[in-house]
């Protein structure tokens, strides 16, 4: 069982929380707050829907996770009153997505602690740093796809950074997308080979400055190719367009013949 909690204390009024339906009674619903372990809240029937509610089970069921707004908190009596009807669809989707990512992060980091037998003191320090971030899972995802440099800003020990990066790559299998652009560059003019070489070198240097992996290579002169790899397909497409436009411009300036293969567009 997980030993990592999420929030301590009590929720604040107007806060949006994720809760699991625990008990349905005639006058409302009792829920367990996922963000506040051990805390139970109450959703009165009048706060379930804007319309008249005759059957609560038409709206919620036992075990279902819902996003609720906190309308009253009384720590002395241990009461937390909640509302479903005061939560918009957009708020629900945003909060649930954030909660699921936070839960995945906690599961991943706990398994990392166990796998590498990280001492409790280091666990606490690492958790404190990660949980201060809006989306701690995104840091691990970036470490998995971009490497250990992403974790440098957290001021962790080098050994811990390497272990965490290694584990993230195994635990968070980030899908990568690849796009290959094939084109021809040719000329009959004197010194043309050097001009083509300069174009390819320029594209290679440009790739190094972008947030993607990539390479430029010779297929069989005058055919060349650029391979772009990223976790974001939209980024790949934008970079592909940018590079093609760059090659086209340089080819015009150097009076080179440039053509892109149709299946590369």
* Lowest-confidence segment of 64-78, 133-147, 241-255 by average pLDDT: 133-147
Cβ–Cβ < 8 Å for 16, 95: yes
Strands (E), the chain: 16-25, 28-33, 40-44, 65-74, 79-83, 177-186, 213-220, 223-230, 257-260
The pLDDT-based confidence of 264 (bands split at 50, 70, 90) is: low
Q: Which helix (H) or strand (E) holds 12?
A: none
* Per-residue confidence (pLDDT) for residue 146, from 0 to 100: 82
> Where are the chain's structural domains?
16-87, 91-171, 177-264
Cβ–Cβ < 8 Å for 53, 45: yes
The span from the CA of 59 to the CA of 45, in Å, is: 10
Domain 91-171, what architecture? Orthogonal Bundle (1.10)
Classify domain 177-264 at the CATH class level. Answer: alpha beta
The span from the CA of 142 to the CA of 240, in Å, is: 22
Q: What topology is assigned to 16-87 in CATH?
A: OB fold (Dihydrolipoamide Acetyltransferase, E2P) (2.40.50)
Q: Tens digits of per-residue pLDDT, 26-53?
A: 999 999 999 899 999 999 999 999 999 9
Instruction: Say yes or no: do domains 91-171 and 177-264 share a fold.
Output: no
pTM beyond 0.75? no
């Amino acid at each position: 069982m997980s030993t990592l909690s999420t929030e301590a204390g009590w929720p604040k009024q107007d806060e949006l929380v994720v809760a699991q339906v625990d008990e349905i009674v005639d006058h409302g619903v009792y829920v367990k707050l996922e963000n506040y372990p051990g805390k139970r809240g109450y959703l009165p029937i009048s706060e379930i829907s804007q319309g008249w509610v005759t059957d609560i089970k038409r709206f919620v069921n036992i075990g279902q996770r819902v996003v609720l707004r906190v309308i009253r908190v009384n720590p002395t009596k241990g009461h937390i009153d909640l509302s479903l009807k005061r939560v918009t669809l957009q708020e629900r989707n945003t909060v649930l997505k954030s909660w699921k990512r936070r839960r995945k992060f906690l599961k991943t980091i706990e398994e990392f602690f166990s796998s590498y037998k990280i001492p409790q003191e280091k666990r606490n320090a690492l958790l404190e740093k990660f949980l201060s971030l809006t989306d701690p899972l995104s840091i691990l995802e970036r470490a998995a796809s971009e490497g250990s440099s992403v974790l440098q800003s957290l001021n962790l020990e080098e050994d811990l950074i390497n272990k965490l990066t290694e584990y993230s790559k195994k635990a968070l299998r980030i899908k990568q997308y690849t796009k290959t652009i094939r084109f021809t560059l040719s000329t009959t003019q004197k010194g043309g080979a050097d001009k083509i070489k300069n174009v390819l070198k320029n594209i290679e240097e440009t790739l190094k400055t972008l947030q993607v992996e990539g390479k430029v290579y010779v297929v069989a002169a005058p055919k060349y190719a650029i391979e772009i790899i990223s976790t974001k397909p939209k980024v790949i497409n934008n970079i592909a367009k940018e590079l093609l436009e760059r090659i086209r411009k340089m080819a015009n300036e150097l009076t080179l013949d440039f053509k892109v293969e149709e299946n590369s567009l």
